[in-house]
Structure 1
């Protein structure tokens, strides 16, 4: 791992929150992600299961975490199973965690090798009445492959048919949505790395440059700051491409007079940042571009003020729709008649602003977190309104990452990243 070690106190707190919501005599199991091959003997870089990392800090493949708070043997109330390292593994791939290192990382005292899992798990299941399975219940989930977790669940149901089944997803959704101070610290670091990347490209962008060259500049800055790279596939979209919400080809030339939308964010210690900035390719906004940009910025600023404890996510988006409607009327993009005759299920403003304004942010870019209950302090949301005008060859989105606070004053993790028209122009022409 490139990132600085995280104190294991964070993972101890996270496990305590999960265990506090488990039913009596229940056991919970969390598996690491698979390592995916690309063909022959090559593999994609390993990405740890965010739930397992959240609860243990273990950032290694073929890991299993078992939580059993009612285990008769106190040493078996939390166990981390790992691949046993060897000289051969050390030579070819580098050493894996030793038991001592795993305890230091996770705060878990009982570390067993994977070869001991079946026997130990059988013994624990003779004491347990129910099992928490870590099924993927994210509201955006679209996984079509059978995961390591899926295979474990099928085997466990087959081997232990008399047990009851519970799901960990509801607990994880509740606890992962509210961040600990240590988590916000990692996200702040990710945002500062993103800031460095953005400041690097501002004087770099000019007419004739390719989108992928800009992507490369970001990657350079991210890697040298101890990030693995992008937290998600970056969008570097100039001209009309900015009106394609998930444009990721990044293969066009940036042309004089066009706007350039960049939805990028560095990861750090598996935590995401998520930034969008839109800048003029030639370094100067036209009056029309400035008017649309400032309209989006005003919506973002008003939306940020509404990220306070007690607000509901659904109502929040309705209020933002009203603000955006007013801005679009002022820009001449929709009329009052359009609003009066709009379909309530697809308001008039949706023609130019068709996506949501905010989502939870954390270990996943679209993180776990409650959406049907009131917002709480220490939830972290993106704020990302946009206006997309295909007929004008222009899409503008602005996005920051914001922490909800008890005092009602949202804290912007991207407060240091240039956002005002004048500052952007100055930095691009410096």
Structure 2
């Protein structure tokens, strides 16, 4: 792995918190992700199951974690199964976790090779009454591929039909949404790498550069700072491309006078950052561009102040809608009649700001978190309002990642990334 080792106490604590919420005589199993085929002998780069990583720190394929707090023998309360490594594998595929290194990484003392899983699992299931399966119940999930976890669940239900079944996901949704101090340090590192990429780009952009050249500048800076690369597919959208919310082609030339909306973020140690900035290709905003830019920035700043413990996500977005409506009236994009006659299910402001303002962020860019439960301290949210005006040839989105505090305003993990219009112009023209 490119990233520095993570303090294993994070994973020890995560497992303890998870197991404390299991029913008596229950065990839970977590499988690593598959390696997915492209064609011939080509595969996509491996990405670890975020839940398995959260509970163990293991970042390699063909791994299984079993947690059984009521196991008869103490050694079986936390068990890790790994792909067996040897000299041949080391030569062809590189270093894999040994049992000794696994203990250092995870804090788990009982480590078996993967071929021993069926035997050990059967023995422990005879002691258990309930098995917790790890299903994906994120509100945005739309997975069509059968996963390693899916196959395990299907096989286990067939082999152990008399056991009770339960879900790990609701427990993990709550645990993962509230970040440990170690996690916040990692996320700060991801945001700091993103900052370095953005500052590099400010010195690079000029008329006639290509969107993909800007993408390459980010990737260069991310990789040289121990990131695997982008936390999600980057958006580098110049001119009217910015009005396509998920524009990812990044294949157009940036013209003088246009704006570039960049929605990018570095990953670090599997944790995400998520930044949006909008900059002028020529190094200077027009008066109209700056008016709209400053309106978006005001909404972002005021929306951030609403992210406090006890806030409900749905009510928060209603309040942000009011902030945006006020700014759109000031910009002349809406008039009072538009607001008075609006459809309550699709308010007038949605014509120019049609997406949500905030989502949880952490191990996933759209991270775990139960939206109908009140916000809590140490949850991390994006704040990303935007105004999109196809008729004027530009769209603006600004986004930071912030940590909810017990008291006071959220802490901005992107506080050092330039955002004020004048500051961006000064840097681009220095």
Q: Shared fold (TM-score greater than 0.5)?
A: yes
CA contact (8 A) 2:28 2:67 kept: yes
What is the distance in 1 between the residues matched to 2:112 and 2:335?
67
Alignment match, 2:311:
311
Alignment match, 2:216:
216
Alignment match, 2:237:
237
Alignment match, 2:60:
60
CA contact (8 A) 1:300 1:384 kept: yes
1:288 partner SS: helix
Q: Does 1:407 align with 2:407?
A: yes
Q: Does 1:426 align with 2:414?
A: no
What is the distance in 1 between the residues matched to 2:198 and 2:50?
27
What is the distance in 1 between the residues matched to 2:46 and 2:273?
19
Alignment match, 2:290:
290
Please show how residues 188-227 of structure 1 align to structure 2 within 5 Å.
Answer: 188-227=188-227
CA contact (8 A) 2:21 2:171 kept: yes
2:381 partner SS: strand
What is the distance in 2 between the residues matched to 1:174 and 1:185?
20
CA contact (8 A) 1:272 1:365 kept: yes
What is the distance in 2 between the residues matched to 1:260 and 1:4?
33
Displaced runs of 4 or more, over 6 A: none
Alignment match, 2:122:
122
Alignment match, 2:74:
74
Please show how residues 95-106 of structure 1 align to structure 2 within 5 Å.
Answer: 95-106=95-106
User: Displacement, 1:165?
Assistant: 0.6
Normalising by structure 2, what TM-score?
1.00
Alignment match, 1:110:
110
What is the distance in 2 between the residues matched to 1:95 and 1:379?
35
CA contact (8 A) 1:309 1:408 kept: no
2:90 partner SS: helix
CA contact (8 A) 1:308 1:404 kept: yes
What is the distance in 2 between the residues matched to 1:97 and 1:323?
51
Q: Does 1:323 align with 2:326?
A: no
Deviations 1:235-274 (A, max 9, x none): 0000000000000000001011111000000000000000
What is the distance in 1 between the residues matched to 2:218 and 2:290?
25
Deviations 1:161-215 (A, max 9, x none): 0001101110000100000000000000000000000000102111101000000
Alignment match, 1:358:
358
Alignment match, 1:171:
171
What is the distance in 1 between the residues matched to 2:61 and 2:147?
13
How many residue pairs end up in the alignment? 430
Alignment match, 2:182:
182
Please show how residues 129-168 of structure 1 align to structure 2 within 5 Å.
Answer: 129-168=129-168
Deviations 1:106-131 (A, max 9, x none): 01111111010000000000000011
CA contact (8 A) 2:304 2:409 kept: no
Deviations 1:67-103 (A, max 9, x none): 0000001100010100010121111001210101001
Alignment match, 2:268:
268
Alignment match, 1:4:
4
Give the aligned CA root-mean-square deviation in angstroms.
Answer: 0.5
What is the distance in 1 between the residues matched to 2:145 and 2:302?
41
User: Displacement, 1:370?
Assistant: 2.0
What is the distance in 1 between the residues matched to 2:211 and 2:133?
43
Deviations 1:348-373 (A, max 9, x none): 00000000000000000000012111
2:284 partner SS: coil
Alignment match, 1:89:
89
What is the distance in 2 between the residues matched to 1:104 and 1:208?
51
1:38 partner SS: strand
User: Displacement, 1:408?
Assistant: 2.4
Alignment match, 1:386:
386
Q: Does 1:27 align with 2:22?
A: no
Alignment match, 1:44:
44
Normalising by structure 1, what TM-score?
1.00
CA contact (8 A) 1:65 1:79 kept: yes
What is the distance in 2 between the residues matched to 1:355 and 1:192?
26
What is the distance in 1 between the residues matched to 2:20 and 2:239?
51
CA contact (8 A) 1:239 1:254 kept: yes
User: Displacement, 1:302?
Assistant: 0.2
User: Displacement, 1:22?
Assistant: 0.4
User: Displacement, 1:37?
Assistant: 1.5
User: Displacement, 1:38?
Assistant: 1.3
